[in-house]
Structure 1
Amino acid sequence: MSTPTIRPYNASDRAELLTLARRAGESAPSESLWGHEPSELDVYLTPYLDDEPESAFVAEADGKLVGYLVGSLGTGKVKSEDDRMTAAIAQYRLFLIPSVVRFLLRAAVDSMRNRGRSAGELDDPRWPAHLHINVAPEARGTGAAGELVAAFVDHARESGCPGIYLQTLVENERATRFFTRHGFEPHGDAPRVPGMRYRGKPVHQLTMVRSL
């Protein structure tokens, strides 16, 4: 594979990017959340493409997409995660899907066990921007992920944004090392992610921040 190049997302990338998203997270602890791919994409990918496409970037090699980063500068263009989740539940009637119902019930129990420590988006004016990144297995180790992050950092800085946050999992040590190398630091608690399991065990949210 040739060295990936990074460029801004454009609407003609959409179909290929959605296909890429379905395989880019393979083997990661966050590969699947509640086991219903269309609704997961409508929470963590398509709203960014629809509402803030100028904050999305893609990695391309040999004429195909091998990675992407979507994000928001925190200006309100992209709705909150809770609002996106509520819309997905209604649109896909997720309460009628047994596997999703089990996830939601488990999430409710986990939330009670968090004892006041909240898992979810960070609301702090020091770091208003956030991002989601995914790279295909064949592009890992090529520098594509780092260049995607650099493109978003430049975009945020040029927009006058004071800082960026992201959320990964404590259990995803590979991702934590990567983000640390690119200037992000752990911030706050690491509560259990409601409902989510990896290899049958609970996982914990890790918020990381980078000031610009």
Structure 2
Amino acid sequence: MFTIRPATPDDRAALYRICLETADSGADATNLYRDPLLVGHIYAGPYLTFAPEFTFVLEDGGGEVCGYVLGVADTAAFEERLEREWWPRLREQDRDSAHLPAQERTPDERLTHLIHHPRRADPAVLAAFPSHLHIDLLPRGQGGGHGRRMMNRLFTALREAGSPGVHLGVGTRNVRAQGFYRHLGFRELAQTNGGITMGLRL
């Protein structure tokens, strides 16, 4: 009874909720953040806004969204667009926490630091894997091959856009997700700051 469909602007609240409920290495991070929208502002909202053609949701039998996969074909161009059109408004809402030592920042302050100083993809990775993606499923949407079907839906869209490869980031603690990606054919490209970058040729 699960279906995959293109996301619409009406799905924004669902994407933000799922993003938060999977933000702790796949587990619910609701209790970690005072501002429940911060995670979604970074990892969900900009994709629905600027790359809806690469944003898909999973609906359960009751029509409720319980997962998403989203990405972009050209990561470098996407990062430049966010710098012009997405981050400035958010920077006005939350002050930069750069004045605090990294180890003293709260979870919210770590995210606001990312808003003021967003990570940029490694050009060496982009040379072969210019696209990137995020996928998150709530527990009821996991299993049954839904994750694989969602990824294949996005892979098809990226191939049709002319992309030769896609990369993603996964936490070193999220062993389950790493296994899933490897099963799809992703291979490890680099490790930095508690995360692993993996890539797949399309």
Alignment of 1:113-132 (within 5 A): 121-123=121-123, 124-132=126-134
Is 2:10 the partner of 1:12? yes
Q: Which residue of 2 aligns with 1:64?
A: 64
Amino acid at match of 1:23: E
Give CA-to-partner distance per residue, 1:6-50, whole Å, 9 cap, x none: 111122222333333332446637948x83432221111101111
Is there any run of 5+ residues in structure 1 with no aligned partner, and where?
108-118, 193-203
CA contact (8 A) 1:67 1:139 kept: yes
Superposed displacement of residue 80, structure 1: 5.5
Counterparts in 2 of 1:52 and 1:67: CA distance versus 1, 3 Å:
same
Is there any run of 5+ residues in structure 2 with no aligned partner, and where?
111-118
Structure 2 counterpart SS, 1:187 = strand
CA contact (8 A) 2:97 2:105 kept: no
- 2-side partners of 1:177 and 1:81: how far apart? 32
Give CA-to-partner distance per residue, 1:62-114, whole Å, 9 cap, x none: 11111101111116553359946676444222549x9x99338x97xxxxxxx
Counterparts in 2 of 1:183 and 1:85: CA distance versus 1, 3 Å:
farther
Amino acid at match of 1:68: Y
Q: Which residue of 1 aligns with 2:199?
A: 209
Kindly report the root-mean-square deviation, in angstroms, between the aligned alpha carbons of the 2 structures. 3.3
Structure with greater contact order relative to length (CA < 8 Å, sep ≥ 6): 1
Q: Which residue of 1 aligns with 2:41?
A: 42
- 2-side partners of 1:149 and 1:30: how far apart? 22
Using the TM superposition, name which of 34-43 and 8-17 deviates more. 34-43
Q: Which residue of 1 aligns with 2:161?
A: 159
CA contact (8 A) 2:21 2:28 kept: no
Give CA-to-partner distance per residue, 1:131-185, whole Å, 9 cap, x none: 0111011111122211111111111111110100000012211010000011100
Q: Greater helix percent: which structure?
A: 2
Q: Which runs of 4+ in 1 moved over 6 A?
A: none
TM-score normalised to structure 2 length: 0.76
Q: Which residue of 2 aligns with 1:73?
A: 73
Alignment of 1:89-108 (within 5 A): 89-93=91-95, 95=97, 102-103=104-105
Counterparts in 2 of 1:121 and 1:27: CA distance versus 1, 3 Å:
closer
CA contact (8 A) 1:128 1:164 kept: yes
Superposed displacement of residue 61, structure 1: 1.3
Q: Percent identity?
A: 26
CA contact (8 A) 1:89 1:95 kept: no
- 1-side partners of 2:53 and 2:82: how far apart? 22
- Aligned residues, how many? 184
